[in-house]
Amino acid sequence: MRTIAAISTPPGKGGIGIVRMSGEFSLEILKKIFTKKEIRPRFMHYGKIIYENRVVDEVMACYFNKPYTYTCEDMVEIYCHGGYVSCLYILEILLKLGAVPAEAGEFTKLAFLNGRIDLLEAEAVEGIIEAESKEEQLMYADVLGGKLTEKLESVLNDVVNLISECEAKIDYPELGDVDDMKEKLEKIHGGLISFLDDEKRTTYIRDGLKLAIIGRPNVGKSSLLNALTNKERAIVTEIAGTTRDTIEETINYEGLTIRLIDTAGIRSTDEVIEREGIKLSKKAAEDADFVVVVLDGSTPLQADDFEIMELVKDKEKVFLINKEDKGLKIDLKSVEKYGEYIISSIKNDSGVRELLDAIKKRIVHEIDFNVTSIFNIRHVDLIERAISEIETAIRDIDVMPFEIVEVSLREAHEYISMILGRDTSEDIIDRVFRDFCVGK
Ligand SMILES: Nc1nc2c(c(=O)[nH]1)N(C=O)[C@@H](CNc1ccc(C(=O)N[C@@H](CCC(=O)O)C(=O)O)cc1)CN2
Ligand SMILES: Nc1nc2c(ncn2[C@@H]2O[C@H](COP(=O)(O)OP(=O)(O)OP(=O)(O)O)[C@@H](O)[C@H]2O)c(=O)[nH]1
Ligand SMILES: [Mg+2]
């Protein structure tokens, strides 16, 4: 069996760096280079790393005896100084003494393969490492704690009970009634559908709200992007048609991650480049979760404004009536017919916070930060497959033999199990861990 080694702290300078090993030779390798030879499991030991008669670094080290470790194998952690040379040098020595370099995510993969955590929990570890907000952190911490596994186990349990009922009916067709089974199938179906709904909210937490800023040229879209990001991100000029391409920036407003997309002003034009830009603007509006339509409040509404308001008729949106400082000439009643509006003067720094609050108020009711939900496309795909099997079972139950219904239930069971990494091919498992950091 191999003993793997890797640096677990990020590259760069830090107070302390951690180099760790997992595998049966971990302790033996440590003893060859560590000045302390009496090593008690799970106790921190102070000493020096000596290699070729030179002190390499002054460190702390800890040995963890299997199976009560992160990987369920023997492990050693060396806490050296966090200069990258120190970490690299110590790693190099471990490799010379027989360890092999760990692959990305291999420590966590071992925890999974040795049954300490399921695949979902392993994915949550990666989620925690990549988290960009506290909400995201807490969501993954819940999954790592087993909250989602528990929910899925409960669905699996319901499916198993129904499989047993099918088998009983195969042997004793007169037992119980089919309506009752149908009801239970519907309940499982509803539960699976709610996993998909929850996933949409999770996407907001993880990827943020996609917010497109659209409007005709020169109304202040890029000025708004700059105000929201607090920097000169986009070029702002008095010339209509300044922004040609979409520009993206991410902000976090009170826990809500917002991916802002500034777009080219929409108007009828024959200019080729501008026309391409406008196509992108419309596409951005279409793809967005939320749209801010900027209007120039100092002029009456124009044909282009009406066209834009029509374009986003069915989207979640707010109208930002800008340039209030120049005097309002816009017909507020007409705008109101299309939806909620906020008046601003980006120039004078007014209205921007109100806009953010309005967006948050409109969107937050959709996000329950406390729901633990499936969180990636692998899970969505498997839940969708399971749903389709349950739908088949619902259709079949009145007209088909119970053997056929049972087949669908077993398929559904398998798909849900695969979320937890059971009955999952090596290929898929490898794909999950490939995106991990080395040393995790
Ligand atoms: N120094 C250090 N910090 C770390 C880790 C680590 O491996 N080393 N972790 C990860 O990289 C994370 C913590 N996760 C861990 C999860 C389980 C076990 C573990 O040894 N579990 C055993 C014993 C549990 C116990 O003592 O109660 C077990 O489950 O049997 C260790 C770390 C974050 N911080
Ligand atoms: N008076 C006044 N001028 C503003 C306000 N907001 C933006 N402007 C000015 O309006 C002009 C256009 O602003 P931009 O932000 O470039 O407008 P845009 O919508 O991005 O324009 P395009 O990229 O051409 O579509 C600039 O000269 C800004 O300084 C405001 O609240 N009041
Ligand atoms: Mg612009």
Give the Å distance between the CA of 88 and the centre of ligand 1.
23
Calculate the CA dihedral of residues 290, 296, 300, 301 and round it to 10 degrees.
Answer: -30
Interval 74-93: pLDDT, tens:
999 999 999 999 999 999 99
Give the Å distance between the CA of 432 and the centre of ligand 1.
21
Interval 218-274: pLDDT, tens:
999 999 999 999 999 999 999 999 999 999 999 988 777 899 999 999 999 989 999
Q: Which atom of ligand 2 is nearest to the CA of 217?
A: 25
Answer yes or no: do 228 and 315 share one domain.
yes
**Best mutation site among 214, 232, 242, 275 for ligand 2 pocket (most ligand atoms within 8 Å of CB):** 242
Whether the CB of 326 sits within 6 Å of ligand 2: yes
Q: What total number of domains does the chain contain?
A: 3
**Both tokens assigned to 418:** 């695969």
Whether the CB of 323 sits within 6 Å of ligand 2: yes
Give the Å distance between the CA of 432 and the centre of ligand 3.
40
Question: What's the CATH code of the domain at 357?
Answer: 3.40.50.300
Residue 48 is which amino acid? K
Whether the CB of 241 sits within 6 Å of ligand 2: yes
State the pLDDT at residue 367: 65
Answer yes or no: do 159 and 185 share one domain.
yes
Cβ-contact 213, 294 below 8 angstroms: yes
Answer yes or no: do 42 and 149 share one domain.
no
State the pLDDT at residue 369: 64
Calculate the CA dihedral of residues 176, 181, 183, 189 and round it to 10 degrees.
Answer: 170
Interval 207-218: pLDDT, tens:
889 999 999 999
Compute the distance between CA of residue 167 and CA of residue 173 in angstroms, rounded to an integer: 9
Range of the domain at 335: 204-236+245-363
Compute the distance between CA of residue 266 and CA of residue 274 in angstroms, rounded to an integer: 9
Q: Supply the ipTM of this predicted assembly.
A: 0.72
Answer yes or no: do 287 and 317 share one domain.
yes
pLDDT at residue 281 tops 80: yes
Answer yes or no: do 24 and 83 share one domain.
yes
Q: Any binding-site annotation on 431? A: no
State the pLDDT at residue 140: 94
Give the Å distance between the CA of 30 and the centre of ligand 1.
19
Of the chain, the percentage scoring pLDDT greater than 70 comes to 98
- Across the chain, mean pLDDT equals 94
Q: Tally Cβ neighbours within 10 Å of residue 233.
A: 16
Q: Tally Cβ neighbours within 10 Å of residue 276.
A: 13
Residue 121 is assigned to a structural domain of this protein? no
**Residue 421 — φ and ψ, nearest 5°?**
90, 10
Compute the distance between CA of residue 291 and CA of residue 287 in angstroms, rounded to an integer: 10
pLDDT at residue 366 tops 70: no
